[in-house]
């Protein structure tokens, strides 16, 4: 059983990628919608929240944990690995860094994410560990999450904001741009449009799913479970938009 968590329902974009490669693996998803977003919170708070969620998932029998939230991956993944040495912990930042190193040819790459993720410089560090020759240009885009939450996915206002945010990265002529936030794949069309054809826009979900597939050569089929800490019809709609199917989401206070 794979436990997956995010600050909200954006992490379902990672579930979507996992299900492409491992369609029948049972996942337990937890979205901390009562306390989202994590992107502008401190490391201490994000670690505390992440630990509470891992306790919940462990209680449900998960031995493999996927941190599908970039802010939590950036600020709490190492902490969680130390606290829970017996759990197998995957995180979107490590997978994203690997995906970027594989994809770039010019060795000039861009990363966008929340204030917390970009402020942590985690992508720069992880990418430098893998290949120190790669130049990384990072940019926080804090309005992208509320724009997705507002469902302004194809709006001119969103395009205008994307142009403002991405101007620097475009000028640097990066050949690869990583979407370092699980909400951003929903804006992929606008972001790709602004960046132009020479930039490959990638997300970390696909790479993380590949890594998981290696571990789960054989597994017992099972039912998926979806939990959130606060349930509004808005989240149900967003979840359906991401997964392209109706799911049963339960509310659960941790």
62 is catalytic: no
SS3 89: strand
DSSP letters, 29-45, are EEE-TTT---TTS-HHH
Tokens representing residue 236 in the block: 């149900």
CB of 240 to a copy of itself, least distance (A): 17
CB of 249 to a copy of itself, least distance (A): 13
How far is it, in rounded angstroms, from Cα 33 to Cα 207?
25
How far is it, in rounded angstroms, from Cα 93 to Cα 71?
9
Write the interaction track for a copy of itself spanning residues 159-178; mark x where CB under 8 A is met and - where it is not: -xx--x--------------
How far is it, in rounded angstroms, from Cα 196 to Cα 150?
25
Residue tagged active-site, from 62, 69, 141, 252: 69
CB of 143 to a copy of itself, least distance (A): 6
Window 39 to 78, contacts with a copy of itself (CB under 8 A): 40-42, 44-45
Window 229 to 248, contacts with a copy of itself (CB under 8 A): 229-232, 234
Residue ranges in the chain assigned as alpha helix (H): 12-21, 43-59, 70-83, 92-103, 115-119, 122-130, 144-149, 156-171, 188-195, 205-215, 233-243
Binding flag, residue 183, a copy of itself (CB under 8 A): no
CB of 49 to a copy of itself, least distance (A): 8
69 is catalytic: yes
Which residue number, 206 or 231, has a Cβ lying nearer to a copy of itself? 231
Which residue in 19, 58, 142, 241 binds a copy of itself (CB under 8 A)?
A: 142
Binding flag, residue 35, a copy of itself (CB under 8 A): yes
Phi first, then psi, for residue 200 (nearest 5°) are: -90, 125
Site stretch for a copy of itself (CB under 8 A), options 66-74, 153-161, 183-191, 210-218: 153-161
How far is it, in rounded angstroms, from Cα 244 to Cα 250?
18
> Hey, how many other C-beta atoms are within 10 angstroms of the C-beta on 66?
30
Active site residues: 69, 181
For a copy of itself, the binding residues (CB under 8 A) are 33-35, 40-42, 44-45, 115, 142-143, 145-147, 149-150, 152, 157, 160-161, 164, 229-232, 234
């Amino acid at each position: 059983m794979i436990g997956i968590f995010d600050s909200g329902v954006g992490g379902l974009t990672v579930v979507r990628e996992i299900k492409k490669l491992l369609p029948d693996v049972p996942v337990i998803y937890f979205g901390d919608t009562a306390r989202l977003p994590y992107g502008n919170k401190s490391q201490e708070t994000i670690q505390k929240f992440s630990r509470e969620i891992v306790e919940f998932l462990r209680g449900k029998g998960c031995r493999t944990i996927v941190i599908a939230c970039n802010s939590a991956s950036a600020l709490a993944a190492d902490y969680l690995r130390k606290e829970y040495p017996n759990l197998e912990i995957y995180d979107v930042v490590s997978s994203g860094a690997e995906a970027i190193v594989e994809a770039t040819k010019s060795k000039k790459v861009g990363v966008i994410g929340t204030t917390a993720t970009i402020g942590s410089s985690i992508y720069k560090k992880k990418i430098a560990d893998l290949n120190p020759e790669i130049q990384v240009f990072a940019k926080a885009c804090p309005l992208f999450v509320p724009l997705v939450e507002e469902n302004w996915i194809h709006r001119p206002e969103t395009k205008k904001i994307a142009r403002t945010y991405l101007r620097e990265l475009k000028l640097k002529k990066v050949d690869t741009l990583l979407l370092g936030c699980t909400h951003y794949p929903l804006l992929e069309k606008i972001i790709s449009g602004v960046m132009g054809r020479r930039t490959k826009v990638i997300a970390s979900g696909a790479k993380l799913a590949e890594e998981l597939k290696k571990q789960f050569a054989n597994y017992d089929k099972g039912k998926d479970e979806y939990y959130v800490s606060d349930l509004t019809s808005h989240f149900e709609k967003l979840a359906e938009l991401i997964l392209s199917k109706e799911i049963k989401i339960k509310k659960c206070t941790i």
